[in-house]
Amino acid sequence: MPELPEVEQVRRTLSPKLVGQTVSSVRIFNPERIFEVTPVQFRRGIVDSRVKKLSRRGKYLLMQTDNQHTALIGLGMTGRFIVEPDLEPLEYLVVAFSLKRNRIVKLYDMRRFSRISLAETGKIKEHPFLAHLGYEFDDKQLTPSVFCKELQRFRNRNIKGVLLDQSVIAGLGNIYASEVLFGAKLSPEREAHTLNLKECSVLLGTMRKILRKAIEMGGTTIRDFRDADGKNGRYAKELKVYLREGQPCTRCGTSSEIKRIVLGGRSTFYCPRCQK
């Protein structure tokens, strides 16, 4: 569930609790969630270092330490950070970082889709989690014509699938892909390479507007998402099509209903009348 706006909200709420702090110990409760390095390597890379910076790339959080290492954390669907004194360990705890004054930063993940790893900070771009990622949504280099050219790469794929492809734009997930296409009045089934420059431009602009607003509102909570303060995102009430199957379209009126179809194995919501 955490897509770009939710991960950004976690970054913003976790930063003040973590940046500048020294990690005195790292306990790993679910070693299967660690990739590319061993649990021992992960622990050694973090322990006794000070957190310099918490940043984001696509849907990944990057925790940079002052000993030239960066932890990479993907939240999957239900990954959540909880900062608290060490009460009894919660079920589904993946990893816990101990700070001073009995504060513990815990990554908790009910559905166990989260992924964590470690890289040398200087080689972070080559890490397998990040190497294939495309543009950040607000990258100035991503102009309408560049975006249009990117979409030409896909001769036989629908635009919804391409928006979910992290190698094009990093950070969109299933909820915002449907919302952005509704905003841009484009059918999710349109083949990506058929979009003209004008349509690419509208799509890009709509995506930026929606993601900015969602970030501003702390992301979307359907059910599970909480930020590092335990708060829900407030964007759910702004959703125009996601989970609105059978409801009237908010743009073209009562006579047109939102439809649900499955594309690439994922629920996709749209208005057949105003999305072409």
Instruction: Give min distance, CB of 32 to DNA, in A.
Output: 7
Tokens at 135, concatenated: 């543009």
Instruction: Give min distance, CB of 50 to DNA, in A.
Output: 27
Give me the catalytic one of 43, 56, 57, 59: 59
* One of 19, 110, 202, 217 touching DNA (CB under 7 A): 110
3 sits near DNA (criterion: CB under 7 A):
yes
d(CA 241, CA 268) in angstroms, rounded, equals 9
Instruction: Give min distance, CB of 129 to DNA, in A.
Output: 6
Binding residues for DNA restricted to 89-108, rule: CB under 7 A = 92
136 is catalytic: no
Tokens at 264, concatenated: 């690439």
Q: Residue 261: enclosing H or E segment and its boundaries?
A: strand 259-263
How many residues does the structure list for the chain? 276
264 sits near DNA (criterion: CB under 7 A):
yes
Looking only at the bridges linking them, the beta strands covering 266-270 and 93-98 are: unpaired
Binding residues for DNA restricted to 145-184, rule: CB under 7 A = 154-157, 161, 164, 166, 173-175
Q: In Å, how far from its chain's centre is CA 220?
A: 11
Phi-psi region of 36 (alpha: psi -120 to 50; beta: other; left: phi over 0): left
DSSP alpha helices (H): ranges in the chain? 4-18, 39-46, 144-152, 159-164, 174-183, 197-216
Considering only the stretches 100-108, 139-147, 181-189, 259-267, report the one whose residues sit in contact with DNA under the rule CB under 7 A: 259-267
Q: Which residues in this chain contact DNA in the complex, by CB under 7 A?
A: 1-3, 32, 58-60, 74, 76-77, 92, 110-113, 115, 128-129, 132, 154-157, 161, 164, 166, 173-175, 260, 262, 264-267
